[in-house]
Amino acid sequence: MDTKSLRRQLRFWGWGYADEDLSDAEKDSIDLFVKKGVNADAVLAEEPQVTDFALPAPRITAPASIERICSSSDYDRLVHSYGKSFADTARMLLRDVPNPPDIVAFPETEADIMDIFSFATEYNVAVIPFGGGTSVCGGIEAAVGDGYAATICLDMERFNRVLEVDEISRTARIQGGMLGPDIDEALKPHGFTLRHFPQSYQFSTIGGWVATRAGGHFATLYTHIDDLVESVRMVTPSGVIETRRLPGSGAGPSPDRMMIGSEGILGVITEVSVRIQSLPVWKATASVTFEDFFQAAEAVRLISQSGLFPTNCRLLDQDEALGNGVVSEPLSVLVLGFESADHPVRELMERAITIARSQNGQIDDDSIVYKERKNDGNDQAQREAVSTEADKWKNAFFRAPYLKNRMMQYGLIADTFETSITWERLPEFYTGLKSDIAQAIESVTGRPGRVSCRFTHVYPDGPSVYITFGAVGTKTGDFKELLDRWCELKKVANEQVIERGGTITHHHAVGRDHRSGYEKQMPKLFLGALTSAKSALDPQGILNPGVLIDPENRRVGVTGVMEKHS
């Protein structure tokens, strides 16, 4: 394959590596689900090939100063055209890529990045920062409107080293393009881990996590990458910002907080200093079932306000638990987990279970799993067995994006969105939002679909509400119909989470797809201040224009797949 990437080759049109495939059992399960259930006449669409696409010719040529790190091959342009949202894959199945980057650049140094910025500024070229390409909200699509001469995608894959480990303060300085598994592999010899595991962990980068305020492994306390960031180094068109390494500071508005969640509109994150964890020694895992979802939610509220801070505290409603094969009858399931490198966690788990039982939670004490990691080098003994409801859910969670590829090839809609709400508003919010989506599915597709919910993260004042929905997108292999139906459902989701008082996103980021909701959620004065900050760091407005906000005096608006549905 013609590429300048040094990483293992990605599947350009969907999730995963190009040389990976589903197991025969996974394929059979999906095929049976489709043929025996939702769409008996469905035909599996062929996987897109690079040669299927007639991309427009690049509008610019890389200058000599950066030519060695630039590519305009079809494969590189396709990989960097979209993220991994449902709409991104649907458009790939349609062979519809109207906005490929003209050039893909793989900078090796900060000087390379500044050279790219200088060229882009001089020739009015938009620059799209790219980490792992796992955005599910249009955050890396080069849909910048007609006001730019061309686009460059700036791939940070060469910034892939752990630069320093401070074992005393338990921090690490890591380059922004390093993938999740590579980070933990590099920290392991030191006895540390980052313990930040978003669903995209295998393919996403620490710079991307910081830029999008990614949610991770911890369901309480350290819920977002924000909580692990000690300092940030960012290269902007106006120069370099590097914040001081400090455990905390009350010195005015935080520059770290400005860069965290900036989604590539202010600069490119080249280094991050993060708080790391000792490898856990003691773990406890349990699954509690409830006949009533709201009693289960009350148990979660009480646990979140107890000061126990479980590592895992994820609640699956009846539809979610059944849909993922976690239970065989309509029960809500609370997955609890505790871990520590310092002390046993049995007492913490026992107290959490006592709270759950106070709300009629059911659990067999013999099903609770307690583990202690032995430092005997026996990795096999340290692996977790896939046996409990918790393990079944964990496996389903990480395999879901792989399964979605094949489900979409059959014309099915299978997607998610997430928000958050305070506890006192949860009952009406949960019931109303599920009903909104269920009604929209029936209205748009003409038949009922599936809507389920889980809590991914919980706080003393409320949960993150994560909705999964499924429907028949097309029965005839018409992927334009599939995409149009998804857009209508996405529009309803975007509107209703805001209308009902939630956030447009809890951890998926804003990108282009959520911008209309972001504008409604944020105070106008704040958006004006953010625009001014962007002007100071990116005077010509070349960085990711249209994501979050427009550059000052340059109209981009809502672009990408939601342009006609905002």
pLDDT at 332: 99
pLDDT in tens, 114-141: 999 999 999 999 999 999 999 999 999 9
Cβ-Cβ contacts under 8 Å for 268 (sequence gap 6 or more): 113, 129, 154, 156, 176, 207, 234, 235, 236
Q: Is the pLDDT of residue 381 over 50?
A: no
The span from the CA of 22 to the CA of 380, in Å, is 24
Cβ-Cβ contacts under 8 Å for 172 (sequence gap 6 or more): 162, 164, 165, 166, 187, 192, 194, 273, 274, 276
What are the residue numbers of the active site? 466
| Token pair belonging to 286 | 């349990």
Q: Is 268 annotated in some ligand binding site? A: yes
Q: Is the pLDDT of residue 389 over 90?
A: no
pLDDT tier for residue 388 given thresholds of 50, 70 and 90: low
Indicate the Cα dihedral angle 527, 530, 535, 541, nearest 10°.
-70
**Mean pLDDT across 76-85:** 99
Cβ-Cβ contacts under 8 Å for 558 (sequence gap 6 or more): 512, 515, 516, 546, 566
| Local structure of residue 63 (DSSP, 8 states) | -
What are the start-end ranges of the E strands in 243-376? 268-275, 277-278, 282-290, 312-316, 332-340, 369-372
The span from the CA of 538 to the CA of 531, in Å, is 10
> How buried is 242 (Cβ within 10 angstroms: 0-12 exposed, 13-18 middle, 19+ buried)?
middle
pLDDT in tens, 530-565: 999 999 999 999 999 999 999 999 999 999 999 987
| Residue type for position 151 | T
Rounded alpha-carbon distances, angstroms, from residue 164 to 76, 111, 275: 31, 21, 12
pLDDT tier for residue 384 given thresholds of 50, 70 and 90: very low
| Token pair belonging to 100 | 């490929």
Q: Is 384 annotated in some ligand binding site? A: no
Q: Is 266 annotated in some ligand binding site? A: yes
Q: Would you state the CATH architecture of domain 282-372?
A: 2-Layer Sandwich (3.30)
Q: Look at the domain 162-278 and name its fold.
A: 3.30.465
Q: Is 132 annotated in some ligand binding site? A: yes
Strands 282-290 and 192-193: unpaired
The span from the CA of 116 to the CA of 132, in Å, is 19
Q: Is 134 annotated in some ligand binding site? A: yes
pLDDT tier for residue 494 given thresholds of 50, 70 and 90: very high
pLDDT in tens, 302-344: 999 999 999 999 999 999 999 988 999 999 999 999 999 999 9
Q: Is the pLDDT of residue 380 over 70?
A: no
| Token pair belonging to 170 | 């338990």
pLDDT in tens, 338-351: 999 999 999 999 99
Q: Is the pLDDT of residue 429 over 70?
A: yes
> How buried is 87 (Cβ within 10 angstroms: 0-12 exposed, 13-18 middle, 19+ buried)?
buried
DSSP secondary structure string, 96-148? --S---SEEE---SHHHHHHHHHHHHHHTEEEEEESSS--SSSTT----TTSS
Indicate the Cα dihedral angle 91, 93, 98, 101, nearest 10°.
100
The span from the CA of 237 to the CA of 117, in Å, is 6
Provide the residue count of the chain: 566
> Can you state the angle between helices 389-409 and 86-93, rounded to 10 degrees?
30
> How buried is 188 (Cβ within 10 angstroms: 0-12 exposed, 13-18 middle, 19+ buried)?
exposed
**Mean pLDDT across 275-281:** 97
- Portion of the chain with pLDDT greater than 70, in percent: 96
pLDDT in tens, 438-472: 999 999 999 999 999 999 999 999 999 999 999 99
pLDDT at 355: 99
Tell me the three state secondary structure of residue 356.
helix
pLDDT tier for residue 379 given thresholds of 50, 70 and 90: very low
Q: CA nearest 321: which of 337, 333, 313?
A: 333
- Put the strands of the sheet holding 239-242 in their side by side order: 162-166, 171-175, 268-275, 229-236, 239-242
The span from the CA of 541 to the CA of 545, in Å, is 7
pLDDT in tens, 139-164: 999 999 999 999 999 999 999 999 99
Q: Is the pLDDT of residue 4 over 80?
A: yes
| Residue type for position 400 | A
Lowest-confidence region among 23-37, 242-256, 339-353: 23-37
Dmax over CA atoms of the chain, in Å, equals 69
pLDDT at 564: 82
* Domain boundaries, given as residue ranges, for the chain: 24-155, 162-278, 282-372, 515-562
Contact 138, 91 (CB under 8 A): no
Q: CA nearest 560: which of 483, 499, 469, 450?
A: 483
The span from the CA of 365 to the CA of 350, in Å, is 9
Phi/psi of residue 215, nearest 5 degrees: -90, 150
The span from the CA of 237 to the CA of 115, in Å, is 10
pLDDT at 38: 80
pLDDT at 434: 99
CATH assignment of 24-155, given 3.30.43.10, 3.40.50.620, 1.10.10.10, 3.40.718.10?
A: 3.30.43.10
Tell me the three state secondary structure of residue 428.
helix
Q: Is 552 annotated in some ligand binding site? A: no
Q: Is 30 annotated in some ligand binding site? A: no
pLDDT at 387: 41
Rounded alpha-carbon distances, angstroms, from residue 192 to 163, 171, 197, 294: 15, 9, 14, 38
DSSP secondary structure string, 511-565? TTTTHHHHHHHS-HHHHHHHHHHHHHH-TT--BSTTSSSPPTT----S-GGGTT-
Q: Is the pLDDT of residue 400 over 50?
A: yes
Q: What's the mean per-residue pLDDT of the chain? A: 95
Q: Is 473 annotated in some ligand binding site? A: no
pLDDT tier for residue 386 given thresholds of 50, 70 and 90: very low
**Mean pLDDT across 223-245:** 98
**Mean pLDDT across 165-175:** 99
